[in-house]
Amino acid sequence: MNSKICILQSNSSNNYDLTALTLLNHFQYANKHKYDFHSVYIDYADVFKYFEEFKKILNLYETVAVIASDIVFNNFDIPLERFVDINYAIVLGAENLNHGGSPINNDFVLWNNNNKAKELIDICIRSGNQYKLAPWSYQSLFVDLLNSGYNGIKVLPIRELQSAPFLNCPMSFQENDFTLHFLNMPNENKYAGCKAFLETKKVNWVK
């Protein structure tokens, strides 16, 4: 362990090409801020099994930022420390795409190494069978926890953690935004969008 913060890039069997494409971007951002970096395989058919392993990783750091492979860093001058809040188990961003979906997005989550986070991991493990087939897996669990009054999740305003390549919506990407997330689209569109942005800084806008 070389840092108090680790970036953990999540990948799965259906997006190896996308992972390979964005891995360097994630590593370069981590390297600039002297964070540790790891890319890990997660079986999203039963993602809740991964929380047992994740608990071991979290014990090595003060904060672990779990980031999906369809996200690219844009503004390298923004450090993760800006978003860390040790009063919560996790910090994630709000989502609003103007066409339904979830009110939050868990493809970029900062986990703090504290008792609240360990309790939340245990909740995730216990809830696996109930939420395994939910529309957004454990993101649906987080939504239900928030709606029940659970106070271990901090939700940042739209665009602080993630922006999106969708026109005319609250998450629409702007030039100096922290990251760009190619969410809610087929993998081939994610790949094409990430590739174009990484090579040219141009956004493949979706109407």
Q: Three-state DSSP class for 60?
A: coil
Structural domain total, the chain: 1
CATH of the domain at 25: 3.90.550.10
Strands (DSSP E) along 47-151, which ranges?
A: 63-68, 71-73, 90-94, 104-112
- Residue 187 domain-assigned? no
* In a domain? residue 21: yes
In a domain, 191, yes or no: no
What local confidence, expressed as pLDDT, does residue 157 receive?
Answer: 94
Range of the domain at 44: 5-158
- Of the given ranges (53-57, 130-134, 152-156, 177-181), which has the lowest mean pLDDT? 130-134
Note whether residue 47 is domain-resident.
yes
Does residue 32 fall inside a structural domain?
yes
* 12 domain residue, yes or no: yes
Distance CA 90, CA 12 (A): 22
pLDDT (tens digit, 9 = 90+) per residue, 155-205?
999 999 999 999 988 999 999 999 999 998 999 999 999 999 999 999 999
Does residue 53 belong to any structural domain of this protein? yes
Has residue 176 been placed in a domain?
A: no
pTM of the shown model? 0.93
| Cβ-based burial of 53 (10 A; exposed 0-12, middle 13-18, buried ≥19) | exposed
